[in-house]
Every structure is written in structure tokens, then in C-alpha cells.
Structure 1
Amino acid sequence: MTRKAISRQAAIVGSALFVITMCLQASCTSKAEGETPAAKPSPGQLAEAKSAAGKLFSERSDVAKLREAVRTLSDIRDPENRDFETEWLYSKYSFFLGKAVPEKEKEAVWERGKAAGQIAARLEPNRPEGHFWYGANLGELAKLSPVTVGIKSVDDIRSAMNRVIEIDPAYQSASAFEALAQVELATRMFGDGSAEKAVEYLEKGIELGPENAYLRATLAEAYVSLRRTADARKQIDTLLKMQPNPDYAAEHEEAVEKGKKLLNRIS
């Protein structure tokens, strides 16, 4: 071997040792954003943190408390010892946080929620939670960037929500049907979406979750798009008479506002 070749080989070995040293110093642990455990949490710490996060989430009308709920779960997420419930709850809370934060923060929040949902779905593929919240976060990302994210995400959202329906069609008051209907309505102009198919999903959903205000509001929207204004009015009338679920009062009000806007359009 020539002196030049020996020098080159030594440089390569030195570079490799430098990389290894840097990895050791940095702990080279595969850690996603939103994961900040200082040490492996005990089962008791996990339960305590999830309970605290749940209480904060129940007061999510205060965005600071919703942020703290997400942060509390972030502190116990452990990439080396995944906990199914922690992951899907983090995904769920991130979905709601993304709706509440300023526009510039939304994408990052929903990306983290999407990733956590995927992890939960891999951990427990026969449970609905991971699939649903993965699809819900991806759906919001699709709305945020309909061209760059939305078009290519349609099949993934459909797949996730159809999996929820296979496992537990009544999960989250049959919200998977509403998500599938939203995809149908959103893709009419550039894909294979169908308002008729949306109505089919929503009517099935209402059979399972008649108390779901979003199902009523979106069904009214689908009826309007098909010029079935009398049917739309019936759904809006029912929506306006519904008593909100105390756990989802803010979301109920959002659905009511959507219904009122539709009513103004067809009046």
C-alpha cells in the first residue's frame, strides 16, 4: 500500500471514529419532536401524567392549558419504551391544539400529532385510537396545504378512517364517517369525490352517533351541495335543538355556527 493510500485510509478511520465519538456524546437516540423524557418514567409516573394531562385537556378552552396538556404528555413520551395510550392521547391533544394555535404553529403541531398517531396504530393495530387520530391530524394538514399535502394524502386518510370503521364504527360518536364524508366533499373538483357518497357516509354515521353535531352539520352541507335544501334544513333544525355534550361544548358550538351559515345560504 502506498503512503498516500495509507494516509487516506487513516483519514477515513479518523472520520469514522469522530462520528462514533459524536454519537456517543449526543446519545444518538432516535427521538421524534415532542419527546422530552429526562428519564424512563415509571408506570405510576405515566398514570399520574396522563391523569394531569386529561384534566388540563378538559379545560382546553384555555389554550395555555391545552398547550400544557400536550407538554405534559411530551415529557413522558419515551422512544425506547412506547406506551400506546400516551401516544394516541398525545396525537389527540395535538389535533385540538393545532386548531387553537396561530397559523404559523399549526403545521408543526399536526405533524407531531400525525407521527404519534402512526406510532399508536403500529403498537395496537386492532384498536381504533391510533388510526383515527393519525387520520385526523393528516386531514388537518391536508386542509392546510391542499395541493402539496392534500392530494397525495387522500388515500391515507381514507385507509385510516376505514380501518377505524372496521374496528369500531361508533368510535368518537362515529366521527370516522364524518371524516370520510369530508374527503368526498373536498375532492369533488380534482379527484373522485362524490357528494352522494358523502351523504351515504353521513347517514350511516348518524345512525351510530345521532348526538354528533359535526355529522349533522356536514350532512346539511352535503345536502346543500346536492340542492336538497329541505333535507338540509331538517338537519340544521335538529342540530340547533341538540343539547351539547359538556365534554365537547366548544366543538358543538363550532358545528352550530357552521349550520347557521348554511341556513343563511339557503334562506
Structure 2
Amino acid sequence: MISCILLFYLAHCGVEEARAAFVSDSRGFRLQPADPDQLYARREHLANARAAERIWADRLARDPKDFASAWKLARARYWLGGHATDQDRKALYEAGIAAGRAAVAVSPNKPEGHFWLAANMGALAESFGMRQGLKYRGEIKDELETVLTIDPAFQQGSADRALGRWYNKVPGLFGGSNRKSEEHLRKALTYNPNSTATLYFLAETLVAMNRRDEARATLQKLLDVPVDPQWAPEDREFKSKAERLLQTLRR
């Protein structure tokens, strides 16, 4: 008999997500929830990411002080938002912001909530124009600077990388600066010289500074570095983007 737990999942998400959310064997469903961390590790298959998101959302609903579920939920919604249709993307990022705020409220002295809150706000700002960018501009910067205060090495210098992106994307009238962008991105590379995200953002900043030869060299390095197993989905995407940008710069 299918339990009410599985029926709940079937009612609230697709069949693929319901299957991913439960551990099974050759005899069928055991009705034992899968490990969301293991599901998220296989996030390139979006059904796994959606199943992990659902589990963390359910856990947070049951316990609003579950810090780990809150920040991991924000992270999952950031990933899903980046792979959603325009119709769904905004709602996912806004839900990611809500999860990030929940994490910050529970543990304001830990970096994860601040970072993933900023990441979702930044993605929303980039995806939906200047109005969203102006709305979140100051708060994104504040959250990332908070991460630097708490733990500058968090997630291999991710706050410096994101601030480098912030300074590149924000107009100079509102505080943007390619010089500061480069400074933060090079600082991030001191934590992980092979970060594909950091190398890609640095290349974009160098292009904006009309330093195309350096940008090409940076992109080539990105293509040459090995894929990090922990960040394999992101690494493969940045390598694809780097190939396209490098082709443009060679014209």
C-alpha cells in the first residue's frame, strides 16, 4: 500500500520528484525519505534538485529554527531558479530570498544564510532588470560584507567572488567599479585559484576594462583547470560559457 507520505509528494510535485525523494530497492518503494544532500549532489538532473528542495522545505516548515534546512533550501532554490523558465524563475528566487532570511534569523553569526540570501537577491536583480537591481543593490553588498566579517574564506572565497561580480554589474553612479571588481576577484582566487566561477567573472571584468588579452588568457586557464567534484555541475556550465566568450574575443 502506498503510504500517505508518498501520496503527499505525488500531490505536491511530479512523479520524477516523488521517486527521487524516496529510497527504493528491487521490491519497490521503502517509503524512506532519501538523503537531500545526496540528491542535491546529483542536481544536474533537476528532478533530484527539486526533490531535495521539497525535503528541506518540509523540514523547515516543521521546524522554523532548522538552520541547515533553511540555508540549503535557499541554495537549492538558487540552483533551480537558474535552470527555470522565465515564468518560474522569479518565484524561485523570491522563495530563495525568504529561505535565506529564515537562515539569517536563526543564526546571524554564521555565513551560509547571508551568502545564499545575497546570491538569490543578486540572481533576481540580474534576471529582472534595473528596478530589481536597485531594490536589492545595497542589501546584497551588506550581506556579502557580513560574510567577509564572519569568515572571509567561506566556501573558497565566495563572498569576495560575489562582491567582484557586484562591483562589475552595478553602474558606477551607484557604486560599481571594475577596479574594485578585479581586486575582489583576485582575492577570491587566493582561496581557490581554479574556481571556474571566479575566473569567468574576472574575464568579464577584464573585458569591461578593455584588457582582452588578459581576459583570453583567463578564459583559457578556466578551460584547462580540472572539474571540482563538489561543484561539477557549475564547473561544466562555466566551461561552456567560457568557450562561447572566448570565441567572441577571438573575432
TM-score class, shorter-chain normalisation, is: 0.7 to 0.9
Which moved further from structure 2: 126-135 or 246-255?
246-255
Q: How does 1:1-267 map to 2 (within 5 A)?
A: 52-78=35-61, 81-188=64-171, 191-267=174-250
SS state of the match for residue 156, structure 2? Answer: helix
SS state of the match for residue 87, structure 1? Answer: helix
Distance (whole Å) between structure 1 residues aligned to residue 158 and residue 64 of structure 2: 30
Unaligned runs of 5+ in 2: 1-31
Aligned-residue offset at 1:190: 5.3
Letter in structure 1 aligned against 2:57: S
Which moved further from structure 2: 220-229 or 187-196?
187-196
Q: Is the 8 A contact 1:161 1:179 kept in 2?
A: yes
Unaligned runs of 5+ in 1: 1-47
Q: Is the 8 A contact 1:188 1:195 kept in 2?
A: no
For these two proteins, the number of residue pairs brought into alignment is 219
Superposition RMSD in Å? 1.8
Q: Is the 8 A contact 2:43 2:233 kept in 1?
A: no
Aligned to 2:7: none
Q: Is the 8 A contact 1:173 1:211 kept in 2?
A: no
Cα deviation 1:88-133 (Å, max 9, x = unaligned): 1111111111112222111111111111111111211111000000
Q: Is the 8 A contact 2:59 2:66 kept in 1?
A: no
Aligned-residue offset at 1:148: 2.4
Distance (whole Å) between structure 2 residues aligned to residue 132 and residue 81 of structure 1: 19
Distance (whole Å) between structure 1 residues aligned to residue 109 and residue 169 of structure 2: 28
Which moved further from structure 2: 250-259 or 194-203?
250-259
Q: Is the 8 A contact 2:94 2:120 kept in 1?
A: yes
SS state of the match for residue 211, structure 1? Answer: coil
Distance (whole Å) between structure 1 residues aligned to residue 55 and residue 115 of structure 2: 22
User: Computing the radius of gyration over CA atoms, which structure comes out larger, 1 or 2?
Assistant: 1
Instruction: Give aligned-pair identity as a percent.
Output: 31
Distance (whole Å) between structure 2 residues aligned to residue 64 and residue 241 of structure 1: 30
Q: Is the 8 A contact 2:197 2:238 kept in 1?
A: yes
Letter in structure 2 aligned against 1:226: M
Distance (whole Å) between structure 2 residues aligned to residue 132 and residue 125 of structure 1: 11
